[in-house]
Chain A
Amino acid sequence: MPLYLNDEQTMLRDTARDFVAEHAPVSHMRRLRDDKDAAGFSRDLWKSFAEMGFTGILIGEDAGGLGLGHVDAGIVLEEIGRNLSPSPFLTTAVAAVEALKGSAQANRWYPGILAGETVAALALDESAKHRDSVALKAERSGNGFRLSGKKQFVTHGHVADLIIVAARTAGSADDSNGITLFAVEKGAAGLTAEAERLADSSIAARLEFDNVELTADAVIGEVDAGRDPLGRLLAAGRTGASAELLGVGGGAMDMTVSYLKERKQFGVTIGSFQALQHRAAHLYSEMEVARAAVLKAQQLLDASDEKADPAVSVAKAMTALATTLSVQEGVQMHGGIGMTDEYDIGFYMKRARVLAEMFGDANFHADKLARAAGY
């Protein structure tokens, strides 16, 4: 498969680009922030995503979805990133849909996701840094399970209809096996969410599970064998976050390059200064390399290729590095105006930092590659 978008994907991109720019431009995010919106995103917009068919991109046609792949999901995510649109698309339509795939829970949740009524959150992290370990306990209780422990950095965790929780049913925190994935419904007794607004004005929750009782059918897949659905969830989430980062970095770069062509100092446009041209050209190179890495990871995931795993790590790390550069150069090259809240470029810097941290930062993924290579 060649490493560029095919005709259908190009059409999807044009559709998504117009739709997101029209319905959820940066001003949409700014308004939610200024209104101190408690959800952090618009349910109405989520409905329109469903009407466009976007929420069903990764759901099979037999279940009423579009039956497309990660390349296609990434196309929508890139536009979300470019417009800094607050949306549960990544957690719900990408990561949760992948985790549920092939399980009995899919029938329960897919219709709501397809209709744009269901929002999913992912309860994975247990410390300030993403790790490959799971300590939150799930003990057998009658026919079901009892969950106790804490999770953090759970985007939409305070309002989600469905929370996917990675829990330990056997072994110790760093063991690869003994993990079980659970689908926890909104309002479960013993579950409390402490919502926190983050630097980018999105909202994430710290969740506390205090003997949360679940029936046996809350299990996604098999007990103790949660690595499979969790692995799919993480691969989809990491790749999706990479695509969104690409949009954030690309959006910031476009703004910056436009600014270089408009802004005059010393009687000429500042974009004619070689010092700035070289930095812009270097930034462009980093972003192009990151773009190739994202598409490669998406294609390998879609082909269920065994080489997908390292490619996903390359994509997540590379987009974090390139986009971080893009937003830093963006603020710097905008000068004083780049530091003002009134101007949008600073929002890109905040969003990039959040996405860079999500599902493992560049260091986490570089470390993962190094271990896999035996050093």
Chain B
Amino acid sequence: MMTDLENFRAETRAWLEENCPAEMREPIRSEKDAVWGGRDQSMLSPAQKAWMDRMGARGWTVPDWPKAYGGGGLSPAETKTLREEMAKIRARNPLNSFGISMLGPALLKYGTEEQKLDYLPKIARGEIRWCQGYSEPNAGSDLASLATSAEDKGDHYLVNGQKVWTSYADKADWIFCLVRTDKTTKQGGISFVLFDMASEGVSTKPILLISGNSPFCETFFDNVKVPKSQRVHDENKGWDVAKYLLGHEREMISGMGLGAAGGNPLVDGAIATIGLDHDGRLADPLLRASIALFEVRSRAFGMMSERFIDELKAGRAHPAQPSMMKYYGTELNKNRHELMMAAGGSDALEWESERSSGGAGPRAWLRTKANSIEGGTSEVQLNIIAKRILDLPSN
């Protein structure tokens, strides 16, 4: 007799086998290769579209969300089983989305029933691509200093101001945005609103980065009309929503590029460039030692991630623990890319050649430098750990 979970596993395996296109069983090579959903889906290959639609129809882009909101309604054990079966065939994530990883959890916690029914299914099916309007020129890590104002006009707000570092603002359909509704208090005067990037008065301008790519934008609001029904949680209580969402963002960033299933690109790359000596060891002993010690930390961090997820599910994680995960994970990721550059030697310096896939390696290396800045700098995370976990005194 098979248990329910074993039945679920067998059915899931069969379904994935039938529905996951072969092209979707290859690793994602770059940000452009990932599926982000949204109104403009012209960049997607037929296989990407089919995979996202099939998974979305089952609610499996968000397997643990309730069915009523477009989710799969799966239990934690079933969700884990699904992930394991996907990993076995190296199935790609069908949809990468700030809606799924950041806004969704916040809406589930703070949204009204109407908001949940309206937005969550669209997020699950990849119909809206979201961007995040937090940072401003004078409010980066010190988010409470934000100045973008939302003036009360009865049934709507009139939003004016500027955001910066808005990832994919030029490609997103909607924005979840922090605005100031009360100037007399810092954290207490912020509200959390959602609005369409096609609204009148919204404009964006890409920022060219050291990696030569430009996922970030400056975003400007000039008398943008935002209905009050699009405010999440109470007026002036946006800080609660933002903090909750930041925890999820940190969790997401901390896991980037780590603990990937199958081979180890760092080791494979080093062997390919440098070769092994007659004892079967990497011919550069100092680089070998650096990689081996990195492996210790990286594997241990993978175990920490597992523990963190287990504790989150059981409601046992310290609320400030995402800060630790974000700090450690991003510093490790930078370390990994430094080692990859060292392993690659002069090959890893090519910026445009076909051989280097247009400099994918160095561009990724430079991109990781933002990991410890975005989503709250490493120093801000350390402040949070010191104060909220270690209970060290403030000045």
Contact = CB atoms under 8 A, between A and B. Distances in A.
A371 B279 CA distance: 10
Given A277-B383, A278-B382, A285-B328, A374 B280 contact: yes
A218 interface: no
A274 interface: yes
B209 interface: no
Which of A268, A271, A310, A362 is most buried by chain B, counting CB atoms within 10 A of its CB?
A: A271
A94 interface: no
Q: How large is the interface on B (under 10, 10 to 19, 20 to 34, 35 or more residues)?
A: 35 or more
Given A289-B301, A318-B297, A4 B382 contact: no
Interface stretch (A45-53, A134-142, A165-173, A292-300): A292-300
A367 B292 contact: yes
B392 A272 contact: yes
Contact of B389 (A284, A293, A371): A284
- For the residues of B in contact with A, the DSSP-based class is helix
Contact of A371 (B281, B296, B393): B281
B76 to A, nearest CB: 10
A375 B281 contact: yes
A293 B306 CA distance: 10
A11 interface: no
B335 to A, nearest CB: 13
Contact of B393 (A261, A290, A363, A374): A261
B303 A292 contact: yes
Q: How large is the interface on A (under 10, 10 to 19, 20 to 34, 35 or more residues)?
A: 35 or more
A366 B293 contact: yes
B324 A284 contact: yes
Contacts of A375: 267, 270-271, 276, 280-282, 288, 291
Given A3-B306, A285-B324, A261 B392 contact: yes
A257 B390 contact: yes
B306 A285 contact: no
Contacts of A281: 324, 327, 381-383, 385-386, 389-390
Interface in A287-338: 288-293, 295-296, 310-311, 313-315, 317-318, 321
B292 A272 contact: no
A282 interface: yes
A142 B386 CA distance: 67
Nearest to B317: A4
Contacts of B313: 2
Contact of B307 (A3, A278, A369): A3
B32 interface: no
B300 interface: yes
Contact of B295 (A274, A277, A373, A374): A373
- For the residues of A in contact with B, the DSSP-based class is helix
Contacts of A369: 292, 295-296, 299
Contacts of B383: 274, 277-278, 281
A317 B296 contact: yes
27 contacts: A2-B313, A2-B314, A3-B310, A4-B307, A268-B395, A272-B392, A274-B383, A277-B383, A278-B379, A278-B383, A280-B390, A281-B382, A284-B385, A284-B390, A289-B300, A289-B303, A292-B304, A296-B303, A311-B303, A315-B300, A366-B289, A369-B292, A370-B291, A370-B292, A371-B281, A373-B295, A375-B276
Interface of A: 2-4, 257, 260-261, 268-269, 271-274, 276-278, 280-282, 284-285, 288-293, 295-296, 310-311, 313-315, 317-318, 321, 362-363, 365-367, 369-371, 373-375
Given A284-B385, A295-B303, A375-B291, 17 more contacts: A2-B314, A4-B310, A261-B393, A272-B395, A277-B392, A285-B328, A285-B385, A289-B304, A314-B300, A314-B303, A362-B293, A363-B289, A363-B293, A366-B293, A370-B288, A374-B280, A375-B276
